[in-house]
Amino acid sequence: MPAPVSLESGYVLHARPWRETSMLLECLTPEHGRIGLVARGVRGARTQTARADLQPLRRLRLSYSRQGEMGRLHAAELVAIHALSGEALLAALYVNELLVRLLAREDAHARLFAQYQTLLEHLVGARASAWLLRRFERDLLGAMGYAPLLECEAESGVPVQAGLRYAYVPERGPLRWQP
């Protein structure tokens, strides 16, 4: 049985009710990647503060023990709330869905965790989130080993040059654009 984890930084990606008073959480941590946790007894009338802290887009310090597929949350300390609304909120929730659906459990990605944290910080004041999303999607694909090769032209092998226009053909790669 793995040793208990104490005060590891993390984010709740997804939370849903489970049984009478518990919640099932999907969390992202730098050292253990995406993990599943059971938070017992957090849905009672006297635990509204604890339940509010266990929502997406909140940075926490998590103490938990892992046992099989799902671990058990022992404590969660709120560190920061990323107050998002409108397009920025939708973008952050979209990224959370990507992480839950694409990352394998317990596959650590410390750099991706830092990029996720930076994304949330930038979304707080962002007017346009499309560029931030594309950049994070690229980083996520890279972390999973599926990043497209963008350094050289597909046909000639010549390095891609700044200032020139290229089209990306999925089966081949970047091709110089000829109008």
| One domain for residues 65 and 124 | yes
| One domain for residues 159 and 134 | no
Here the CATH number for the domain that contains residue 124 is 2.40.50.140
- Of 60, 61, 55, 15, which is closest to residue 38 (Cα–Cα)? 15
Predicted TM-score (pTM) of this structure: 0.82
Q: What is the mean pLDDT of residues 38-61?
A: 77
pLDDT band at 49 (very low <50, low <70, confident <90, very high): low
Angle at 60 between CA 141 and CA 31, to 5 degrees: 50
Q: Is 7 left (phi over 0), alpha (psi -120 to 50) or beta?
A: left
Structural domains in the chain (count): 2
Tokens of 115: 């990029």
| One domain for residues 160 and 124 | no
pLDDT band at 125 (very low <50, low <70, confident <90, very high): confident
Asked if residue 52 has pLDDT above 90, the reply is no
Query: Which run of H or E residues covers position 28?
Result: strand 22-29
Task: Tell me the pLDDT of the chain averaged across its residues.
Answer: 88
Predicted pLDDT at 47: 59
| One domain for residues 15 and 46 | yes
Predicted pLDDT at 48: 57
pLDDT band at 11 (very low <50, low <70, confident <90, very high): very high
Query: Which run of H or E residues covers position 7?
Result: strand 5-18
Structural domain of 161: 151-179
The neighbouring-strand residues paired with 94 are none
DSSP string, 52-89: HHTSTTEEEEEEEEEETTEEEEEEEEEEEE----HHHH
Predicted pLDDT at 17: 85
Predicted pLDDT at 139: 94
| One domain for residues 159 and 130 | no
Asked if residue 103 has pLDDT above 70, the reply is yes
pLDDT one-digit tens code per residue, 161-179: 988 999 988 888 899 888 7
| One domain for residues 81 and 100 | yes
**DSSP-derived 3-state class of residue 101:** helix
| One domain for residues 161 and 125 | no
Q: What is the mean pLDDT of residues 9-21?
A: 90
Asked if residue 46 has pLDDT above 70, the reply is no
Query: Which run of H or E residues covers position 141?
Result: helix 130-144
Tokens of 16: 């849903």
- Of 46, 127, 39, 21, which is closest to residue 75 (Cα–Cα)? 39
Predicted pLDDT at 72: 92
